[in-house]
Amino acid sequence: MAYRAEPPDGGWGWMVVLSAFFQSALVFGVLRSFGVFFVEFVAAFEEPAARVSWIASIGIAVQQFGSPVGSALSTKFGPRPVVMTGGILAALGMLLASFATSLTHLYLSIGLLSGSGWALTFTPTLACLSRYFSRRRSLATGLALTGVGLSSFAFAPLFQWLLNHYAWRGALLLVSALSLHLVACGALLRPLSLAEDPVVGGPGAQITSLLRHSPFLRYTVALTLINTGYFIPYVHLVAHLRDLGWDPLPAAFLLSVAAISDLVGRVASGWLGDAVPGPVARLLMLWTTLTGVILALYPVAEAPTGLVALTVAYGFTSGALTPVAFSVLPELVGTGKIYCGLGLVQMVESIGGLLGAPLSGYLRDVTGNYTASFVVAGTFLLAGSGILITLPHFFCFSAPTSKPQDHVTEALDTKVPLPEEGLGED
């Protein structure tokens, strides 16, 4: 355990960024590329798109709904053992999925078991990272989450290649081996004790305080709406392109194009989040609005040029909103409550992750195409951006850029145990 009066804005924090980079790749990189398996599952089990969509949706929902469990365990035992346990569960779920004989088996293995492993890895790691950074938090988060873009660029064509050579069962075995690397990522996490921690109380007191915090509740609702439409292209874009007559490999490669643009968007947005004065929520609203408009325009584009242009734009804006979404939360609740706050947000927004893809698949089954699916997805993101406008200081352009928790830690510097008292630094 390392003891600090306030976030060090560097040091071992960069190793935490490295860990978060690979974890985001092995969690959301896999989820984003899972649309390649979607078509295979529909053909293998002869089930409608709506039912197959529940595989990814259950995984996303369990990951987010179980986040408070990962947060509470990390508060008690530290993030390192929790994340390492989650890596084992994520790999085990993919391993068992390779033996599935029905969609129910995939619901339980990928959705429930791997989803539980993701719940124990992603949220504790991002919360740990937020505690290591203050002034450079958006940039550190953006760099960490570039793992999603890089892995999506690599995983989509890789998974398609594996499917072509080893079928979906063999491909899932290799995805299980990749997921086991989450254990090594968890070993890099070093817990950090801040001066603010004794003030915020235990998990129960923190949760009670957050549930009475109106801006936090509004922000949670906004992210839930955003999450409902956010993942639709990564689940159904390949199937949409197949409906338009695209071959499987070029359709999968278009996800890689989105991943490259996503990577640029995350880094650019992370830098802007720290450089632009005022609350980060304004940037989040901008990127969310643009992403919603782009999703609604997908049915209009049928020519390959238009589809590629929209995918590049979607990749940039959807990637850009992610690091600032995580940076807004510490501004609202402080670093002392970040474990519980992030866990609660992830749990509530799991409702959107659970319903988004099946709703999109249902609209596809009813209408015969994905027009309504993309329009509805864009509408959810626009509704979420409207709620973000109600957050504190949104229209105050002279608002200070310093985080509210920084003032708390400055006042509590004298309460941090000194090295000569036997605690020291790791």
The answer to whether the CB of 31 falls within 8 A of the CB of 110 is: no
**pLDDT average, residue stretch 312-330:** 87
Q: How far apart are CA 199 and CA 214, in angstroms?
A: 20
- pLDDT tens-digit readout, 146-202: 887 778 778 888 888 999 999 999 999 999 999 999 999 999 998 877 766 656 667
Parallel, antiparallel or unpaired: strands 192-194 and 2-4? parallel
Residue 376: pLDDT over 50: yes
Give the rounded percent of residues in the chain with a pLDDT score beyond 90.
27
pTM of the model: 0.71
pLDDT the model gives residue 404: 44
**Where residue 204 falls among pLDDT bands split at 50, 70, 90?**
confident
Distances (CA, A) of 164 to 37, 158, 170, 171: 11, 10, 10, 9
pLDDT the model gives residue 350: 75
Residue 401: pLDDT over 50: no
Tokens representing 32 are 């984003």
pLDDT the model gives residue 409: 36
**pLDDT average, residue stretch 334-357:** 80
Give the rounded percent of residues in the chain with a pLDDT score beyond 70.
89
- pLDDT tens-digit readout, 1-25: 656 656 677 788 899 999 999 998 9
**pLDDT average, residue stretch 279-288:** 88
- Decide: helix, strand or coil at residue 207: helix
161 CB-contact burial (10 Å; exposed 0-12 / middle 13-18 / buried 19+):
middle
Residue 402: pLDDT over 60: no
Tell me the CATH architecture of domain 7-192: Up-down Bundle (1.20)
**pLDDT average, residue stretch 343-366:** 83
Residue position matching structure tokens 């807004």: 328
- pLDDT tens-digit readout, 50-68: 788 888 878 877 887 888 8
Q: Which of 116, 170, 199 is nearest to 407 (CA)?
A: 199
Q: What residues contact residue 160 under an 8 Å CB cut-off, 6+ apart?
A: 36, 248, 249, 252
Q: How many CA atoms lie within 13 A of 413 on its CB side?
A: 6
The answer to whether the CB of 273 falls within 8 A of the CB of 142 is: yes
Ranking 122-131, 241-250, 316-325, 402-411 by mean pLDDT, the lowest is 402-411
pLDDT the model gives residue 397: 58
- pLDDT tens-digit readout, 54-113: 888 788 778 878 888 888 888 778 889 999 999 999 999 999 999 988 888 999 999 999
**Where residue 250 falls among pLDDT bands split at 50, 70, 90?**
confident
Q: How far apart are CA 270 and CA 154, in angstroms?
A: 22
Which residues sit opposite 194 in a β-bridge? 4
Q: For the domain made up of 198-396, give the CATH fold.
A: Growth Hormone; Chain: A; (1.20.1250)
Q: What is the mean pLDDT of the chain?
A: 82
Q: How far apart are CA 91 and CA 290, in angstroms?
A: 35
Q: Which of 191, 151, 196, 177 is nearest to 6 (CA)?
A: 196
Q: What residues contact residue 395 under an 8 Å CB cut-off, 6+ apart?
A: none
Distances (CA, A) of 129 to 31, 116, 286, 327: 22, 21, 24, 11
Nearest-10 crossing angle of helices 49-65, 67-77 = 30
Q: Domain residue spans in the chain?
A: 7-192, 198-396
Q: How far apart are CA 88 and CA 92, in angstroms?
A: 6
pLDDT the model gives residue 407: 39
Residue 418: pLDDT over 70: no
Residue 255: pLDDT over 90: no
